Structure 1
Amino acid sequence: MTVWKSLQLLLHFLSPPPYFFWGYAISLRMAFVVTNAIESSLFKQWLKNIQTETGLLANGAMSLKQVLIQGVDMFGERLGFLKFKADIIDKETGQKVPGIVFSRGPAVAVLILLDSEGETYAVLTEQVRVPVGRLILELPAGMLDDDQGDFAGTAVREVEEETGIHLNAHDMVDLTAFLDASTGGRVFPSPRKCQQEKIQQLQGKETGLRDHGELIKVHVVPYDKLWRATADAKALTAIALYEMAKRDGLLP
């Protein structure tokens, strides 16, 4: 019997007939039906990942017993965020491994570098981030509207919405193209010449889609001080990729 024949998705209270997913009968207990969650690309991609050659279930040392869907956030008719808990067991010890999953789908972050009068500046946005209870300086970023993988198009749109800067997709460099294909990540930096006057116009500019609850302020900081100016993981990752690509001669 495969792991999927014994997989149970548990929510709460009700026990409808078995739900057939990927050809296997899966028991559901739920207060409300969330077939949009288990049929979503987010959940299907997770299922696919743990079964790949490098996945958790690849060598048979671990097994998946059940999945508890804990939360679903819809963005209109599209599933935006999915939180669930997976009971994955180490067969040798019989112990559970940490298995809380928050899945949010593909997104893109953009490192914009402005060259002016011999100095390089980076563009950050200041945004309200309720989960950490603070205003955070971070790279312009946004989630893809669908699963088609239009990272460049999303990058162009998000940068214009959040900073007012218009980028050309063909001018951007995908830093993670230099990584091993198994990483599956993407980060777009955008080197660009800029006059000092333009930098001054950007500094403190208020942007964002107010009807979407976006309250954004633009900040321009010297690139060599960027790594100390923000705790944004996207920015720090982009800096590392950019510097390593330059060191290895992969960028001008």
Structure 2
Amino acid sequence: MSTFTLQDHGIPVTLPDGLSEEQVLGFHPFTSWIKTLTHSLSLQARDTTHPFHGDPYRLRSVTVQSFDLFGGQRLGFLKLTSDVSNGAGERLPGAVFLRGPSVAMLVALVPDDAPADTDERYALLTVQPRVAAGSLALAELPAGMVDDEGQFAGAAAREIREELGLEIPARELRDLTALALRGAEQGGEEGGEGEEDLARAVYPSPGGCDEFIPVYYHERRVPRAQLGEWTGRLTGLRDHGEKITLKLVRMQDLWREGARDAKCLAALALWEALRREKKL
């Protein structure tokens, strides 16, 4: 094991054998997590109304327990524990799985012969093995990890192309989470003075994982005869171990068909609420 100190923070970081300081500091999910957490911690002292203002918590150390490499060389996942405690010795739960952001896509298909004000829409789900869930056929919204910081819409368009076979320009995607959260935070824009600098996204498991997921929406008209061709189509990148079958479901049945998928339920709730408020 080895230890280095984070510059500008004075926080010791302990690493397991086989993992270097350069790899950790070059891993965007780690540096982003440190930046976001230390910003939130700084608000305790600046805001006299903060519930922890009297005895603020500090990030005192980080211990990386394990890591996974993608392709045998690129750092993909980090599992760590952090000591976040106050002067009284009270600790916050600090076990963290770092994997970085993902994107999810709600794609709605409307038959081309349906009237303009139709409610006839069909959503595309992917059915694929999810070993972590112990499933070989989990139905969920198309989703994928984001490799490059900030390229969320582009990553969403790429995943739609790879998993669904649809070419959709990134500019034609609507960010449902950004629409819902814009202006919702007190004080205006997210990340402003006195605000925690969180992403405009869904956090599916914030108790132990840093992953956040912007949810995008795209709607298009297609020939009715083509709708039947979607269900059962086998897609995905085989060299990435993807074995994906497409499933077409009526939008009004999406809550039931995708009930095990948090991304799906979040997307449907956002879509329905934004339409109700005439924002979509």
Structure 1 residues 87-135: Cα deviation after superposition (integer angstroms, max 9, x where no partner): 212445x332211111211221110011124411100000110011012
Within a 5 Å distance, the mapping from 1:32-71 to structure 2 comes to 32-35=18-21, 36-52=23-39, 55-59=40-44, 61-71=56-66
How far off is 1:221 after superposition?
Answer: 0.3
Q: Which position in structure 1 is the counterpart of 2:4?
A: 19
Distance (whole Å) between structure 2 residues aligned to residue 26 and residue 99 of structure 1: 15
Partner letter of residue 46 of structure 1? W
- Alpha-carbon deviations, 1:31-76, whole Å to 9, x = none? 3333212442111111111122xx1453152122321212222223
- Any conservation in 1 of the 2:125–2:249 contact (CA below 8 Å)? yes
Structure 1 residues 82 and 193, CA, compared in 2 at 3 Å: closer, same or farther?
same
Matches of 1:129 and 1:122, distance apart in 2:
20
Distance 1:191 1:31, change over 3 A: same
Q: Which structure exhibits the higher relative contact order, with contacts defined as CA atoms closer than 8 Å and separated by 6 or more residues?
A: 2
Residue 261 of structure 2 corresponds to 232
1:25 shift after superposition: 7.0
The structural deviation recorded for 1:194 is 1.9
Aligned with 2:38: secondary structure? coil
Aligned to 1:243: 272
Instruction: Give matches, 1:76-155, under 5 Å.
Output: 76=71, 77-92=73-88, 94-116=89-111, 117=114, 118=118, 119-134=120-135, 135-147=137-149, 149-155=150-156
Question: 2:75 aligned with 1:73, yes or no?
Answer: no
CA distance in structure 2 between the aligned counterparts of 1:154 and 1:30, rounded to whole angstroms: 32
Residue pair 2:15, 2:63 contacting (<8 A) in 1 also: no
Residue 9 of structure 1 is matched in structure 2 by: none
Deviates more, 1:21-30 or 1:181-190: 21-30
- Relative to structure 1, the CA distance from residue 143 to residue 33 in structure 2 (aligned partners, 3 Å threshold; closer, same or farther) is closer
Residues 1:72 and 1:129: Cα distance change in structure 2 (over 3 Å):
same
* TM-score w.r.t. length of structure 1: 0.84
Q: CA deviation at 1:29?
A: 5.9
Q: Distance in 1 between matches of 2:87 and 2:159?
A: 45
**Residues 1:216 and 1:59: Cα distance change in structure 2 (over 3 Å):** same
Amino acid at match of 2:18: F
Q: Distance in 2 between matches of 1:26 and 1:88?
A: 13
- Residues 212 and 229 of structure 1, relative CA distance in 2, 3 Å threshold: same
The TM-score with structure 2 as length reference comes to 0.76
Structure 1: which amino acid aligns with 2:141? L
Matched residue, 1:156: 157
Answer yes or no: is the 8 Å Cα contact 1:50–1:58 preserved in 2: no
Q: CA deviation at 1:27?
A: 6.0
Deviation at 1:19, TM superposition (A): 2.5
SS in 2 for 1:58: helix
**How far apart are 1:28 and its partner, in Å?**
3.6
SS at match of 2:30: helix
Is residue 175 from structure 1 mapped to residue 176 from structure 2 by the alignment?
yes
For structure 1, the 5+ residue unaligned runs are: 1-13
